[in-house]
Amino acid sequence: METQSRSLQSGPMLQRIFLVEDDPRLASLIREYLTINGYEVLVIPRGDVAAKKIPPENPDLVILDLMLPGQDGLSVCREIRRDYRGPVLILTAREEDMDEVAGLELGADDYVKKPVIPRVLLARIRALLRRTGPPSMPVKEALSALLFGGLRVDMESRSVWFNGTPVDLSTVEFSLLAFLANHAGEVLSREKILAELRGIAYDGMDRSVDMYISRLRKKLGDDGTRPSRIKTVWGEGYLFVKDAW
């Protein structure tokens, strides 16, 4: 059975979050905290139900546990990414980094480890939802579209075309590409990229930036072993090459 969220009277256009979590105590805690902070939350305790419900209802954001009855979180993430383009945030209780890496490769935008700290979860949610709006950048750089050879990054429609073909990017992937393209020719450190994407400091251990870059390279036809378009500058960061498109 699905658990409906409490309705708020604070406004008619609350952002909707689908929380896919089978632990009723944790689900209740998260739902209450997010509801207090102005979101509409629907709890779905089964993975197979979530996989069917998320694409047609198109919530603003999905919080997805990995260990679920009916269908595990990674396969849910893979399945919904065929049609759902909103942010997906994974909850994981496992210690292995492979869970996080696999989730990012399958299309998740971020992850939070259990035990969940509500204010950290809220900060990650807000950062992801900000990515659905126009990328933050200086006004003088806020062009409607960025063009590099065969690459077109359209800021207004948040769409990307490469050599005349649309490129299917997640929310965070688009924001990362827009950030790199707006700083073309400049080496951007992992710290700076992570601060832009999440608004938090890089701790030297977080591998998500590398995974996002890897996914972008794959989707944009850049050689992962010898990249020429989004280069790795060892010890410094990443470089978007202006003339390589």
Convert the pLDDT of each residue in 119-164 to its tens digit.
888 888 988 887 765 444 433 344 567 888 888 888 777 788 888 8
Q: Does residue 210 carry a pLDDT above 70? A: yes
Domains and CATH numbers, the chain: 15-130 (3.40.50.2300), 139-240 (1.10.10.10)
Q: Does residue 235 carry a pLDDT above 90? A: no
Q: Which two tokens stand for residue 222?
A: 């850049």
Give the model's confidence band at 97: pLDDT under 50 very low, under 70 low, under 90 confident, else very high. low
Q: Which pLDDT score is estimated for 100?
A: 59
Mean pLDDT of 62-88: 90
Convert the pLDDT of each residue in 190-204 to its tens digit.
888 877 776 555 455
Contact between residue 19 and residue 60 where contact means Cβ atoms under 8 Å apart: no
Q: Does residue 10 carry a pLDDT above 70? A: no
Q: Which pLDDT score is estimated for 14?
A: 77
Convert the pLDDT of each residue in 32-67 to its tens digit.
888 888 888 999 999 999 999 999 999 999 999 988
Q: Which pLDDT score is estimated for 206?
A: 58
Note the pTM of the prediction, 2 decimals: 0.56
Beta-carbon contacts of 92 under 8 Å, excluding residues fewer than 6 positions away, are 65, 66, 99, 100, 103, 111, 112, 113, 114
Q: Which pLDDT score is estimated for 136?
A: 41
- Three-state SS string over the chain comes to CCECCCCCCCCCCCEEEEEECCCHHHHHHHHHHHHHCCEEEEEECCHHHHHHHHHHHCCCEEEEECCCCCCCHHHHHHHHCCCCCCCEEEEECCCCHHHHHHHHHCCCCEEEECCCCHHHHHHHHHHHHHCCCCCCCCHHHCCCEEEECCEEEECCCCEEEECCEEECCCHHHHHHHHHHHHCCCCEECHHHHHHHHHCCCCCCCCCHHHHHHHHHHHHCCCCCCCCCCEEEECCCEEEECCCCC
